[in-house]
Amino acid sequence: MRRREFVTLLGGAAAWPLAARAQQAGKLPTLGFLVAGTQLSHGPWFDALAQRLRELGWIDGRNIAIVYRWAEGRAERYDEVAAELVQLRVDVIVTSSTPPVIAAKRLTSVIPIVFAAVGDPVGAGLVESLARPSGNVTGLSLQQTDTAAKRLGLLLECVPHIRRLAILINAGNPGAVLDMGEVQSAARELGLDVVISDVRRSEDVLPAFAVLKGRADALYVVPDPLTNAQRVRIITLAQDARLPTVWYWREHVEAGGLMSYGASQPHLFRRTAEYVDKILRGAKPADLPVEQPTKFDFVINLTTAKVLGIDVPPALLARADELIE
C-alpha cells in the first residue's frame, strides 16, 4: 500500500465514531471514570451520569464498558489513576474538578477528556475559551469563581455580625485558588478580616481548626475533592468551634453545613453524559463548547442554624430553594 493511501485511511478512521471503531476492533467502547473523591462523596453524581447514559442508549456491559478509578480526594492519586486509564486505552476519560483534569491532560493529548464540573476551566488553563475549547478537553463549568462573592454575601445576610472570616482551602488546586481570590476581594470590600487555612491532605484538617480557634466568626469552605471527601469531619469540627459554614454544594448542607449556593451537581453530571454520547458518535471535544450551569441551588439547614443560635432572616428563608429541618 502506498504511503499516501495509508495516511488517507488513517484520516478516514479518525472520522469514524468511537463506538463504531471499537466494535470494528471487536471490543466495547470503554469509558474511564476518574473519580476525584470517594463512593460517598462522588458516587451519587457519577451514578446520575451513568443513568443518563442509559437513557441515551449506552448500557454498561452491553454496548459500552465503564471502568472506575477512585482517587479518594487524595491529590497524589490523580496522576496514578489517570495513568491507569491511559494505559487501559479507554476511549473517553470522564472526571470532575481541576486537578484530575490537569493530570489526565498531562498524560494524553489524544483521548477525549470530559469534565463534569470545573470551577473556572479558562482561568485554570484547561481550555482556550468556553466557545472554542481546542485540544482534547471539554465539559461543564461550575461558575465557581463567578458565584464566590454571592456565597459570601448570603452568609453575611444570614449572620451579619461576622467580622473575621476563615477560608478553608486546598491551595494545591488551581481552581480553588481562583475561588479564594474572589472571596478575598469581596471580603476586603466588606471590611472583613480574613484568615486562610490550607489543607492538602486529610491529616491537615484537624490542625487547621486548631489554627482557626478564636480567630474567626465564620468559615467559607472552598470546593475541592478533598474538602468534599472530608465534609462530615469539617462540619463536625466547625460546629464544635461554633462556626457557621457556607459551601458550594447542597450535599454539604445535608451533612450539617449551615448553607450553600452553587450549581446542581446531579444536573451537571447528567448533562456531562450528553457530551460523552456525542463523542462516542464521532464528535471531537474541540468542537463541543464548554457549557455553563443552568440550575443553581440555595439551601439552608435550619437544624444547624438552631444549634448555632442563628435566627435566619425571613427574607432569606423565602429565597432559599430548600430548607432542611
Whether residues 301 and 172 share a domain: the answer is yes
Give the separation between CA 180 and CA 82, rounded to whole angstroms: 27
Give the separation between CA 255 and CA 252, rounded to whole angstroms: 5
Q: What is the pLDDT of residue 192?
A: 96
Whether residues 198 and 313 share a domain: the answer is yes
Whether residues 279 and 240 share a domain: the answer is no
Whether residues 284 and 310 share a domain: the answer is no
Q: Is the pLDDT of residue 111 over 50?
A: yes
Whether residues 205 and 280 share a domain: the answer is no
Whether residues 8 and 120 share a domain: the answer is yes
Whether residues 255 and 114 share a domain: the answer is no
Q: What is the pLDDT of residue 16?
A: 47
Whether residues 175 and 27 share a domain: the answer is no
Q: The CATH number of the domain where 41 resides is what?
A: 3.40.50.2300
Residue 279 grid cell:
463523542
Q: Is the pLDDT of residue 8 over 60?
A: no
Whether residues 88 and 129 share a domain: the answer is yes
What is the average pLDDT score of the chain?
91
In contact, 132 and 211? CB cutoff 8 Å: no
Q: Which of 19-23, 147-151, 204-208, 272-276 has the lowest mean pLDDT?
A: 19-23
Percent of the chain with pLDDT over 90: 82
In contact, 316 and 323? CB cutoff 8 Å: no
Q: What is the pLDDT of residue 119?
A: 86
Q: What is the pLDDT of residue 142?
A: 87
Whether residues 104 and 243 share a domain: the answer is no
Whether residues 90 and 237 share a domain: the answer is no
Q: What is the pLDDT of residue 18?
A: 62
Concatenated DSSP letters of 22-40: HHHTTS--EEEEEESS-HH
Give 45-100 pLDDT, tens digit per residue: 999 999 999 999 999 999 999 999 999 988 889 999 999 999 999 999 999 999 99
Per 3-state DSSP, the chain is made up of helix, strand and coil in percentages (nearest 5) of: 45, 20, 35
Split into its structural domains, the chain has a count of 2
Give 228-282 pLDDT, tens digit per residue: 989 999 999 999 999 999 999 999 999 999 999 999 999 999 999 999 999 999 9
Domain of residue 235: give its range: 148-263+297-324
Q: Is the pLDDT of residue 44 over 60?
A: yes
DSSP symbol at 246: E
Q: Can you tell me which residue has the cell 491551595?
A: 171
DSSP symbol at 126: S
Q: What is the pLDDT of residue 2?
A: 39
Give the separation between CA 150 and CA 246, rounded to whole angstroms: 11
Segments of 75-232 assigned E as strands: 92-95, 113-118, 137-141, 164-169, 193-198, 218-221
Q: Side by side, which strands form the sheet with 137-141?
A: 65-70, 30-35, 92-95, 113-118, 137-141
Q: What is the pLDDT of residue 75?
A: 87
Whether residues 77 and 121 share a domain: the answer is yes
